[in-house]
Structure 1
Amino acid sequence: MAVQTVRRTPLSAMGVAVSYFIKASLWLWVAVNIGMVIWIILNSLKSSREIFQNPVGLPIEWRWENFVTAWVTSGLGEAAVNTVVLVVISVALIMGLSIPAAYAIARLGGRSSGPVGTMFAFGMSIPFQALAVPMVLMGVGISRFMIEWITGAWDPRITVALFYVVLSLPFSVFVLIGYFRSLPSELEEAGALDGASPMRTFWQIMVPLARPGITTVAVLNVLSLWNETVIVLLLVPNQRMQTLNVALLNFYDNMQYTSNWGGLFAGVTIVVLPMILLYLFLGRRIVSGMTQGIGK
């Protein structure tokens, strides 16, 4: 019985080589990022002198007080509360608006659903730099109007939350449109046959089935808003109202007087570690939600 051998063409061999190169590059990128996180955490437990003398080794003396300094002295504790409140309120508003909007466009829009979805996709393509000056002008106008005509006082963090919602809606609606379109329409027909109203079908059938996509969008918005810095810098002049990233920048500016590098690394750890843990816990759901809803 003759044995047939498969000869690889130069193109197929090149494709295999490119595939291995891409995989090796990705693993190298992952290793560098993991090493960077470990390096930051280790240096957050050292004194400033030890950081310069032994930047890559284990701490000789584990200085947990660096986290106390970063949390209390630099104002990261108060900034953490501001960040959590802003992110929670903003993400709740984003999801409360984007879920019904995406469902309406995906299921009830008819011929207009395509152009409307395209408009949301176009909203994602607008660079943030083009919106910076209009946001500042609108923020000043909103504050002045509320102070002079409505409430007599105004918290600029409310303005920040409003801009968070507006800027995050295009991405959220666009992703959820694809996810709702991936769900079979027979489910809605079965609900209608059982006497369920469109609203009941939406809340009790479609939303639970779309939970992976909803979780994906919610987590990605949390990651994005947690790391946001520029909008707060532009709209919130009061340091006591600023978020973690801005407080960390202020802490870095004070380093020229204190040289507390251990405390600075501790502050960086406080800012980045919660989001790393969140992604590690929900990373598989994020990937699943994106792959199921994409391209629909």
Structure 2
Amino acid sequence: MSASALTAPPERAEERPRRKAPRKPKPPPGSKRLSPLKIIGGVVVWAFTAFNVFVLYWLLASSFKTPVEIFTQPFQLPRQWFVAGEPFRNFVYAWNQAGLGGAFVNTVLLVGASAIVTVAISAPAAYALTRLGVRGSNAMTGVIAIGMGVPFQTVIIPLFVNMSKIGLANNLFGMFLIYVALSLPFTVFLLTGFFRSLPDEMEEAAAIDGASPSRTFFSIMLPLAKGGLITSLLINMISLWNETLLAIVFLQENANFTLSRALFTFYGAASYQSEYGGLIAGVAIVVLPMLVLYILLARRIITGLTLGAGK
């Protein structure tokens, strides 16, 4: 080797061949340009959202208006009750005349107890169907799914006859039993998705340590499924809070009325007296608690539903 080769300076960095940047992945079809279907879908979604926001605005604004303002100025902001110094007059009227105070307490207790008991029964049932290898668990899960598709309107008459025979027709405890029974199929079906998504390693480690199935369920699997339990609880609370038909059929005494049942009775009296502002305020009292709850916990509900369905 020559001396000139030994003393040659090292190759400069700028003279070295540069590596090509990795090729960017191709975008999915239809992501670069707006397809007609995407445009139509976006328009429909935003139109539906705008309509619901408009209805909510009209409900809140009308609940502070006089009957004359409701019909002559339906889309303007309320004024007369604020000028008279009684902005909440309609809410006070609805609360006192419709008996919404007692109905509110009944609804909170009934819905809360029904939702909690439903989740408490559905969680071990879903765990047994998905994790314990029960024979025929797939068939039983299918039967539960079929129960979700049976409209409860079809069983109201025989249910009312049988509940009347045992003295539970005009009774909050009877409504509690009906709410729990009708909510179980959906809740069990929802929780099976969560328990299927849980890792097997934690359960196997507990079995190696000698933990019983019940100990494993309460100490390990139940905390892991906390998101699904909370989601199921919230969905049941929202659906039962807004339930009206069963309350109309099974409750006849004012002392046992729920909010929706009391509002249904108040509708006749308010319409006869032309107290449309008070009637709309009563609707707002029924709707707003669950609306606020959903707005505050919407992310948790959507995340929980997506987790259960995605895994």
TM-score (norm 1): 0.89
Q: Say what the alpha-carbon RMSD is for the aligned residues.
A: 2.2
Q: 1:129 maps to what in 2?
A: 153
Residue 227 of structure 1 pairs with residue 242 of structure 2: yes
C-alpha distance in 1 between matches for 2:289 and 2:105? 14
Q: 1:254 maps to what in 2?
A: 269
Q: 2:258 maps to what in 1?
A: 243
Residue 36 of structure 1 pairs with residue 55 of structure 2: yes
TM-score (norm 2): 0.85
- CA offsets per residue over residues 85-140 of structure 1, 9 Å max, x none? 11011112101100111111111134411101001001001112211111111210
Q: 2:120 maps to what in 1?
A: 96
C-alpha distance in 2 between matches for 1:173 and 1:238? 33
C-alpha distance in 2 between matches for 1:267 and 1:285? 29
| 1:294 positional shift | 1.8
Larger radius of gyration: 2
Q: 1:46 maps to what in 2?
A: 65
Aligned partner of 1:167 among 158, 182, 185: 182
Aligned partner of 1:108 among 112, 132, 148: 132
The within-5 A match list for 1:162-241 is 162-241=177-256
Q: What residue identity is the alignment partner of 2:286?
A: V
| 1:192 positional shift | 2.2
Check the 8 A contact 2:270/2:278 in 1, yes or no. no
Check the 8 A contact 2:114/2:179 in 1, yes or no. yes
C-alpha distance in 1 between matches for 2:150 and 2:133? 24
Aligned partner of 1:25 among 34, 44, 48: 44
Segments of 4+ in structure 1 off by > 3 A?
11-15
Q: 1:150 maps to what in 2?
A: none
- CA offsets per residue over residues 49-78 of structure 1, 9 Å max, x none? 121221111111332121111111111111
Aligned partner of 1:142 among 163, 166, 182: 166
Between the two structures, name the one with larger relative contact order (CA 8 Å, sep ≥ 6).
Answer: 1
C-alpha distance in 2 between matches for 1:164 and 1:124? 13
- SS class of match (2:51): helix
| 1:239 positional shift | 2.2
C-alpha distance in 2 between matches for 1:97 and 1:176? 11
Q: What residue identity is the alignment partner of 1:271?
A: V
- SS class of match (1:143): coil
C-alpha distance in 1 between matches for 2:47 and 2:268? 33
| 1:155 positional shift | 5.9
Aligned partner of 2:103 among 51, 71, 79: 79
| 1:257 positional shift | 2.6
- CA offsets per residue over residues 167-203 of structure 1, 9 Å max, x none? 1000000010111001111110122233433222211
Q: 2:5 maps to what in 1?
A: none
Q: Which runs of 5+ in 2 are unaligned?
A: 1-25
Q: What residue identity is the alignment partner of 1:292?
A: L
